[in-house]
A = this chain, B = another copy of it.
Amino acid sequence: MPLFIGVDIGGTKVLATAVSSAGRVLRTARRETPGRRVEASLVEDALTAAVQEIAGTRRVGAIGIAAAGFVDAQGERVRFAPHLPWRDEGVRARLAERWSAPVVLDNDANCAARAELTYGAVGSAQDAIVVTMGTGIGGAVVLDGSVHRGYNGMAGEFGHMQVVAGGHPCECGGSGCWEQYSSGNALVRFARSRIGQQPTALRDLCDGDPDRLTGPMVTEAASAGDDVALQAFASVGDWLGVGLANLVAAFDPEIVVIGGGVSAAGDLLLEPARRAMRESLVGAEHRTVPPVVRAALGPEAGAIGAADLARQTFRSAGTRARARRRAARGTARHR
């Protein structure tokens, strides 16, 4: 059996996985992402090293890449990636040639949603919203049982929906974007602003230096009942719910799945989100309000989804090729 490999490439790290057809991660390899101000070939070297470590001497069926950036509708080019050096480059073909293997390419949040759809929390639902809360907010739309990529391949860019007129400036150039209020960055910003104002265990966790505070520290403190950390989750969860209400009003999905690092806090995040979503949602009393659940697959979701995309794409290609060969043999017999 050939290996199907999924690789997740973000601004800081490369995670390569071999994934079974049941979605089980068989092996993983990690590399650091060389950065955004380097030659693109250096990033591709890191991808190659991780893929080689996974593949060894095994035959590779296909490789899926989950990239933190805008991938075009054809899955050929990375149009733009804020934390990577690719600028409208034909990454898929270049890697396929370099690796002499079939390669497929999609956005990382789409891949994570695909993993949740195939193996995870989407379950039997046909329509879902998947929100990935990491440093910022990523997202994907599942419609009729598959990930909806949109006309430019850019559907699901929920993080930059404006929720506060004239609000916090955002790196995207806009202001008041959802991820400025509900994300890992927002969580840390909220908590930092309270250190020094209220007694909090966070002060010790960051050794007295608010600049060293991280999201996982806030999660740890909140789990232990720290007031400031709980307030931070209440704020970020509340904003999560407000944005979800907007998405539910627009898409009317059957389920909402929250993934990404911040979702590790579970109900500390999701309870305020559910409450705020229900309060903000139009016609909540006249509809089935969708459940808001935590993603099932954790930080490997993007890589697992990329491997699944590779497997399904290659398997269908294989099926089509076999069908063509059968048809050709049939034609030959009937001649």
A247 to B251 CA separation, bound complex (whole angstroms): 10
Q: State A70–B247 Cα separation when bound (angstroms).
A: 17
Task: Give the nearest-CB partner of A251 in chain B.
Answer: B155
Task: From B80, B88, B164, B287, give the contact of A154 (CB < 8 A).
Answer: B287
| Interface residue stretch chosen among A46-54, A229-237, A278-286 | A278-286
Complex CA distance for A252 and B144, rounded to whole angstroms: 17
The complex is assembled from copies of this chain, and their number is: 2
* Residues of chain B with a CB closer than 8 A to A167's CB: 165
Contact, CB under 8 Å: B127 / A151: yes
- Using Cβ atoms and an 8 Å threshold, which residues of chain B touch A280? 162, 174
Contacts of A156 in B (CB 8 A): 250, 252
The reply on A158 being an interface residue by CB < 8 A is: yes
Which of B149, B174, B245, B254 makes the CB contact (< 8 A) with A282? B174
Interface assignment of A253: CB less than 8 Å from any CB of chain B: yes
Query: What residues of B have a CB within 8 angstroms of the CB of A251 in the complex?
Result: 141, 148, 150, 155, 250
Give Cα distance in the complex from A156 to B249, angstroms: 6
Say whether A36 faces chain B, with CB atoms less than 8 Å apart. no
* A143 in contact (CB, < 8 A): yes
Identify the 9 closest CB pairs spanning chains A and B, nearest first: A150-B252, A160-B282, A155-B252, A161-B246, A80-B286, A152-B287, A151-B254, A157-B249, A79-B286
Interface residue ranges, A against B (CB under 8 Å)? 70, 79-80, 88, 127, 139, 141, 143-144, 148-165, 167, 172, 174, 177, 242, 245-247, 249-254, 279-280, 282-283, 286-288, 290
Give 14 A-B pairs besides A149-B252, A150-B253, A162-B242 with Cβ atoms closer than 8 angstroms.
Answer: A70-B283, A79-B286, A143-B148, A144-B144, A151-B253, A154-B249, A154-B252, A156-B252, A161-B250, A162-B245, A163-B163, A164-B164, A165-B167, A174-B279
